[in-house]
Amino acid sequence: MFNDILNYNDKLSSATYRKWLSDFADSKRVYPQIIELDPTTNCMLACPECISAELLNGKSIPKEIMYSMIDNFSEHNVKGLIFIGGGEPLMYPRFGSLLNYAASKGLKNGITTNGVLIDKYLESIAKNAAWVRVSVDSSNASSFQIARPNRVPNVFDRIINGMRELAKIKTGLLGYSFLLLETRGFSNAKELYDAASLAKEIGCDYFEYKPMVDGMHFLTKYSDEFLNTVWEMQDKMKTLETDDFKIMMPQSMEMYRKDNLNQPKNYHECPLIKLRSLVTPTGVYPCPYKRGQLKYSLGNIDENNDFYSLFDKSGVYEHLDPSRDCQFYCIRNDINEFLFNLLSGDIKVDELPVSSIKDVFV
Ligand code: SF4
């Protein structure tokens, strides 16, 4: 299961996606199967490196629009929702009821959260989330306060205790996420091993670390000293692995090993737009890399809450050109390459082995 999480092409080759793949390969109309959803742009932390800082304007998706959208997604056979931000998703009023509702409509749910409010929605999350990834980014309370300045009392302990309680009753996966910070005279690379140990001790299924990006989504450059510490820590953290606990390094970290942080693309359309989409209180966007960039907006659900008519009318597929607009590292580049091979006939859906992966989050 763990190794499947980042294996998007294998997930797409599962029985769940056969019809979508066939229709896509035949150039029939297809719609996004995974929706990322920013329920609110509110957040209780004030992280200086937050790439969504300019989007945090206290706006939430109105309740009636939210629930009718979820009905609409369910009717269109969407496989999964990812509650995420721009904003802290658990700050959406009565988030637990929303999660229960999405699950009752047959949608699988993933949650990316800062973890502060896990304790408030413990039972609903434990029952209805296929996965929860908590951005902790530190190994102790004092470094958390530097990494994530805030006025929430005992916030680090609250997050860790919430995760510990969730681990006891969860039905999905729980991950401890760690953003590599070398900024403002602060570095957290030396904390990696302690953070991974803590993740294991409180019952997480995996520990994931990842690099920072700038406001335009280009990977941040780190000093040689910082990276050397990361590689040392990677070896040390591997000793913590068991059948039930994994250390996960995203592909973007490989870019640092190659000393090549950009990812130029030679394709001019992004097929991924037809597989995933992002809905926020301030607009619908093709992917999180384009969050808040109005020129890529598919429209606004405040003005038209029918996601599918926005999608049909939008010209973003035609005017977004990855060779020009996405020269940074995109985690879904491999899926795009795979989809282009389907369109060209180099890969044939009928001949593609059916993977047995159950995780739908492509
Ligand atoms: S190629 Fe560009 S538009 Fe497509 S998913 Fe990646 S960043 Fe988004």
Q: pLDDT per residue over 294-341, tens digit each?
A: 999 999 998 888 999 999 999 999 999 999 999 999 999 999 999 999
Domain that holds residue 17: 1-30+332-362
- Taking the whole predicted model, whether its pTM rises above 0.85 is answered as yes
Is residue 327 included in any domain, yes or no? no
Q: Which two tokens stand for residue 304?
A: 């038209």
Q: pLDDT per residue over 73-106, tens digit each?
A: 999 999 999 999 889 999 999 999 999 999 999 9
For ligand 1, atom 2: residue with the closest CA: 326
Centroid of ligand 1 to alpha carbon of 279 (angstroms): 15
Query: Quick check: 215 pLDDT over 90?
Result: no
Confidence of residue 3 (pLDDT cuts 50, 70, 90): low
Tell me how far apart the alpha carbons of residues 296 and 290 are, in angstroms, rounded to a whole number. 7
DSSP state, residue 154 = T
Mean pLDDT of the chain: 94
| 186 and 245 co-located in one domain | yes
Amino acid at site 176: Y
Looking at the CA of residue 325, tell me the nearest atom of ligand 1.
2
Residues 6+ apart with CB under 8 A from 228: none
Tell me which of 287, 295, 340 to substitute to probe ligand 1's pocket, judged by most ligand atoms within 8 Å of the beta carbon.
287
Q: pLDDT per residue over 127-140, tens digit each?
A: 999 999 999 999 99
| 88 and 214 co-located in one domain | yes
| 64 and 200 co-located in one domain | yes
Centroid of ligand 1 to alpha carbon of 330 (angstroms): 6
Partners of 280 in beta bridges:
283
| 216 and 246 co-located in one domain | yes
Centroid of ligand 1 to alpha carbon of 109 (angstroms): 22
Tell me how far apart the alpha carbons of residues 175 and 134 are, in angstroms, rounded to a whole number. 6
Q: What do you get for the CA distance between the two ends of the chain, in Å?
A: 14
Tell me which of 330, 334, 338, 340 to substitute to probe ligand 1's pocket, judged by most ligand atoms within 8 Å of the beta carbon.
330
Is residue 281 included in any domain, yes or no? yes
The tokens 């302990």 sit on which residue? 157
| 63 and 109 co-located in one domain | yes
Residues 6+ apart with CB under 8 A from 206: 2, 5, 173, 175, 176, 199, 245, 246, 247, 248
Q: pLDDT per residue over 130-183, tens digit each?
A: 999 999 999 999 999 999 989 899 999 999 999 999 999 999 999 999 999 999
Q: What are phi and psi of 167, to 5 degrees?
A: -60, -30
- Give me the pLDDT at residue 179, please: 96
- What CATH code is carried by the domain that includes residue 124? 3.20.20.70
| 253 and 120 co-located in one domain | yes
Confidence of residue 191 (pLDDT cuts 50, 70, 90): very high
| 184 and 311 co-located in one domain | yes
Q: pLDDT per residue over 228-250, tens digit each?
A: 999 999 999 999 999 999 999 98
- Give me the pLDDT at residue 111, please: 98
Collapsing DSSP to helix, strand or coil, 272 comes out as: helix
If one counts the domains in the chain, the total is 2
Centroid of ligand 1 to alpha carbon of 332 (angstroms): 7
